[in-house]
Structure 1
Amino acid sequence: MDIEGAVGTMTLMSRIVAATPPKVRVMRLEASIDGTAVLLADVDWTDKGISREVCYRITVSELVSAIQTHGVEQWLESLSS
């Protein structure tokens, strides 16, 4: 069985901050070009362009492992409280 890598982009959050000038904050997950990792991009836009961009890279197997190890445990704990 062949195992495929990561593909695509998903916006996790998009928020417009009511300020003058308005500021937009976007967080998204996107696949790396080679499909071996996902990138978490946190971007702030103003009317003049991008003011801040931070990217975190994690391999697909590391992400799945982190979710299996921590995500499920925290979710189960939230159900019991």
Structure 2
Amino acid sequence: LLATVTEEPAPRPADVAHSLLVTRSLFAHRAVVLAGEHQETVRALTALAAGATDPAAVSGTVASGRSAALFSGQGSQRLGMGREL
């Protein structure tokens, strides 16, 4: 994935996300990169590939359990509410 997003010209983030969603298997170990700029995406993917941490990346494994729905409104009602779920 890192090699793909560092190609010239770089693919659009929406195209990468769509391809990852519809063309890959669902793995037990997953990661999410939340980045606004291309440089942030590359930095976060580089950290994930090296097994390091990055503020724009979260990784973990799938856990069984109950599901929850969060209707957060504008997000200012209660800080940290989603994390407590």
> What TM-score comes out, normalization by structure 1 length?
0.26
Which structure has greater strand proportion?
A: 1
Greater Rg by CA = 1
- Using CA pairs under 8 Å that are at least 6 residues apart, name the structure with larger relative contact order, 1 or 2: 2
Task: Return the structure number with greater helix share.
Answer: 2
